[in-house]
Amino acid sequence: MDAQPQNAPAVLRLGQILDLNAATPLASELLALRGHDIDVDAAAVSRMGAQCLQVLLSARATWRDDGFAFAITGASPEFTAVLDILGAPLDPTFQAWEPSA
């Protein structure tokens, strides 16, 4: 996670390969950022499995329920293709969501 100016969202940069072995560490990284607005940078993703998609979908719902912003940013073509194949297209599933003021 990068140092961010105060009130800026936390940034989580996803790894290149998000397979079954990456699901638990990804969930742990996300849980560590719970309670903060977050931008999930998916630019480096070249391969992703259903388990990591499930983690991201769960995180998205948790952030929404907690009232914090959650967005996927810089999605690689491979990341976007996997979302489409697995039936969770980038928009509107992962569109930037801002909490109500």
- The better pLDDT of the pair 59, 88 is held by 59
In a domain, 4, yes or no: no
pLDDT tens digits for 14-53? 999 999 999 999 999 999 999 999 999 999 999 999 999 9
In a domain, 5, yes or no: no
Q: What is the per-residue pLDDT for 81?
A: 93
**Domain interval for residue 75:** 10-93
Cis ω for the linkage preceding 92 (within 30 of 0): yes
Q: Give CA separation, 91 vs 5, 68, 73, 83, in Å.
A: 28, 18, 12, 10
In a domain, 45, yes or no: yes
Number of domains in the chain: 1
The pTM of this model reads 0.84
Q: Is 30 in contact with 60 (CB distance < 8 Å)?
A: no
CATH of the domain at 70: 3.30.750.24
Give the model's confidence band at 7: pLDDT under 50 very low, under 70 low, under 90 confident, else very high: confident
In a domain, 16, yes or no: yes
